[in-house]
Amino acid sequence: PEIFRFTDTAEAVGVNDGDKNYILRPEVIESYFILYRLTKDPKYRDWGWDAAQAIEKYSKAGPGRGYSGLRNVYSSAPVQDDVQQTFFLAETLKYLYLLFSADDLID
């Protein structure tokens, strides 16, 4: 909350340049997973799918090169930061997998 601003026309907008990056963090996807499991509302899977498609479109670094963070998520052609954080594989992709898995896979 410290780095975002809320206005009448925008919700959770990063103001400073350092607040506009995405380093492949898992928290939003993890939230979708937990909320889906608690409510069974398919909108959380829809949101997760949208996020997965955006990661694939903007963060994929190329064949055999993994995924990269982004310097400015507000850009229509964001520049990659050339870093794949370890938590991307360990957490972000894990929660995407669990979001679309059967409910009894992990309690």
C-alpha span between 101 and 10 (Å, rounded): 33
3-state helix, strand, coil in the chain (%, to 5): 45, 10, 50
Above 70 in pLDDT, residue 71?
yes
Above 70 in pLDDT, residue 100?
yes
Q: What separation in angstroms does the CA of 65 have from each of 61, 82, 83, 84?
A: 5, 10, 10, 9
**C-alpha triplet 8, 9, 10: angle, nearest 5°:** 105
**Residue 83 CB coordination number (10 Å):** 13
* Reported pTM: 0.84
Average pLDDT over residues 51-74: 93
Q: Tell me which of 2, 11, 27, 56 is the catalytic residue.
A: 2
pLDDT tens-place string over residues 6-58: 778 877 777 777 778 899 999 999 999 999 999 999 999 999 999 999 999 99
Q: For residue 17, what pLDDT is reported? A: 73
C-alpha span between 58 and 54 (Å, rounded): 6
Residue 2 among the catalytic residues:
yes
Identify the band that residue 69 occupies on the pLDDT scale cut at 50, 70 and 90: very high
Above 80 in pLDDT, residue 78?
yes
